[in-house]
Amino acid sequence: MVTGTIGLHHELERELAAFCGTEAALVFSSGYLANLGAVTALCRPGSLVAADTANHASLIDGCRLSGAEVVDVPHHDTAALEKVLAGRRRPRALVVTESVFSVDGDLTDLAEVRSVCRRHGAGLLVDEAHALGVVGGRGEGALGAAGLAGSPDTVATVTLSKALGAQGGAVLGPRRVIEHVINTARGFLFDTGVAPACAGGALAALRVLGREPERAARVRAVAARLHAGLAAAGLPVAPARAGVVSVRAGSARHAVAWRERCREAGVEVGCFRPPSVPDRFSRLRLTARADLTDDQVDGAVTVIADCRPG
């Protein structure tokens, strides 16, 4: 904040905000710190946070550090969310969720969640890490796709290290909120800023997205093909509506063995196991890419199915 911000950072912030449909943006050195900074800046002791139980660790840690009263809401349960907000005793409330959840790739019904928030005077914070570059006609994210970007009571966070292939994160929202985050988020105030090379890389990637919206559509098509192929092979695959395709793998030992067999066969897959997920809920996570051909996708499906441990 003191001397580390240069024109390139401001340029990235302006173009991120314009691309995602918000008034302003603030770049952090990581997506983790963007989430931490957003939650702790928007909440304080005396506030209530209603948080989805499947939220990323960075959101969970932000809630803990905020000093607010935190209520865990069952995953995607808007009836439970309504009950929490209707019965609260705190004057300020913030609902914290992800648009595309990182483990199973499932989408939040943001229109319904925001409707609940508005009925009860609560703000909404949405982590768009897995939506930027994937969801929406241009890859602008799930809030933009739902027509909710730029709402005065809604704040988004993104990472620059997934679809954009760089490093860093950002908080996006109304200008007055971003000014507040600048002056109160310790993860911004006391951290080293994003390296200019990373900021430049993220900006260049963002401009490619703007020029070539078909890339976002291709990611979704690859994910759909992966999902269809894995399901046809009889694998327990979670529904895929964005770029994440998740295969249920049971125990951690089973998941790790499966991942290693795939690696030896030339296919790299992610592996989620405790403590990232509950015991016996381990996953293989596949991430769709726009540059994969249909033949490559079909080949990966064959390898994953053939490498499943008995």
pLDDT (tens digit per residue) in 249-271: 989 999 999 999 999 999 999 99
- Give residues with Cβ within 8 angstroms of 105, minimum separation 6: 130, 223, 238, 239, 240, 241, 242, 243, 244, 245, 246, 285
Whether the pLDDT of residue 142 is over 80: the answer is yes
Which one of 185, 211, 237 terminates a domain?
A: 211
> Is 186 in a helix, a strand, or coil?
helix
Whether the pLDDT of residue 292 is over 70: the answer is yes
The span from the CA of 21 to the CA of 29, in Å, is: 22
Q: pLDDT at position 277, please?
A: 87
Question: Is there a domain that residue 90 lies in?
Answer: yes
Question: Is there a domain that residue 26 lies in?
Answer: yes
> CATH number of the domain that 253 lies in?
3.90.1150.10
Q: Summarize pLDDT for 34-87 with one digit per residue, the tens.
A: 999 999 999 999 999 999 999 999 999 999 999 999 999 999 999 999 999 999
Residue 226 near residue 300, CB atoms below 8 Å: yes
Q: Are residues 156 and 272 in the same domain?
A: no
Q: pLDDT at position 279, please?
A: 81
Which one of 160, 187, 211 terminates a domain?
A: 211
Question: Is there a domain that residue 111 lies in?
Answer: yes
Q: Higher model confidence: residue 277 or residue 49?
A: 49
Q: pLDDT at position 15, please?
A: 99
Q: Are residues 68 and 168 in the same domain?
A: yes
Q: Are residues 50 and 183 in the same domain?
A: yes
Q: Looking up tokens 């897995």, which residue turns up?
A: 130
Q: How many CA atoms lie within 13 A of 273 on its CB side?
A: 14
Q: pLDDT at position 241, please?
A: 86
| Residue 224 identity (one-letter amino acid) | A
The span from the CA of 192 to the CA of 290, in Å, is: 32
pTM: 0.95
Q: Are residues 271 and 177 in the same domain?
A: no
Bridge partners of residue 182, in order along the sequence = none
Q: pLDDT at position 239, please?
A: 87
Q: Looking up tokens 């490093």, which residue turns up?
A: 167
Question: Is there a domain that residue 219 lies in?
Answer: yes
Question: Is there a domain that residue 71 lies in?
Answer: yes
Whether the pLDDT of residue 1 is over 60: the answer is no
Which one of 142, 176, 211 terminates a domain?
A: 211
Q: Summarize pLDDT for 209-237 with one digit per residue, the tens.
A: 999 999 999 999 999 999 999 999 999 99
Taking residues 16-38, report their average pLDDT. 98
Question: What percent of the chain is predicted at pLDDT more than 70?
Answer: 99
Taking residues 198-205, report their average pLDDT. 98
Q: Are residues 27 and 144 in the same domain?
A: yes
Q: Are residues 195 and 296 in the same domain?
A: no
Mean pLDDT value across the chain? 96
The span from the CA of 141 to the CA of 155, in Å, is: 13
Looking at the chain, how many residues does it have?
310
Whether the pLDDT of residue 4 is over 80: the answer is no
Confidence of residue 2 (pLDDT cuts 50, 70, 90): low
> CATH number of the domain that 11 lies in?
3.40.640.10
Q: Higher model confidence: residue 140 or residue 277?
A: 140
Whether the pLDDT of residue 175 is over 80: the answer is yes
Question: Is there a domain that residue 19 lies in?
Answer: yes
Q: Are residues 149 and 286 in the same domain?
A: no
Residue 108 backbone phi and psi in degrees, to 5:
-85, 140
Q: What total of structural domains would you count in the chain?
A: 2
- The DSSP annotation for 52-118 comes to ETT--HHHHHHHHHH-SEEEEE-TT-HHHHHHHHHT---SEEEEEEESB-TTT-PBP-HHHHHHHHH
Q: Looking up tokens 């993860």, which residue turns up?
A: 187
Q: Are residues 142 and 272 in the same domain?
A: no
Q: Are residues 182 and 136 in the same domain?
A: yes
Q: Which of 183, 155, 195 has the alpha carbon at shortest distance from 28? A: 195
Q: Are residues 280 and 294 in the same domain?
A: yes
Question: Is there a domain that residue 2 lies in?
Answer: no
Residue 216 near residue 135, CB atoms below 8 Å: yes
Q: Are residues 31 and 163 in the same domain?
A: yes
Q: Are residues 207 and 276 in the same domain?
A: no
Q: Which of 15, 281, 300 has the alpha carbon at shortest distance from 158? A: 15
Bridge partners of residue 238, in order along the sequence = none
Whether the pLDDT of residue 122 is over 70: the answer is yes
Apex CA 170: angle with CA 188 and CA 110, to 5°? 130
Confidence of residue 3 (pLDDT cuts 50, 70, 90): low
Which domain covers residue 19, as residue numbers?
Answer: 7-211
> Is 36 in a helix, a strand, or coil?
helix
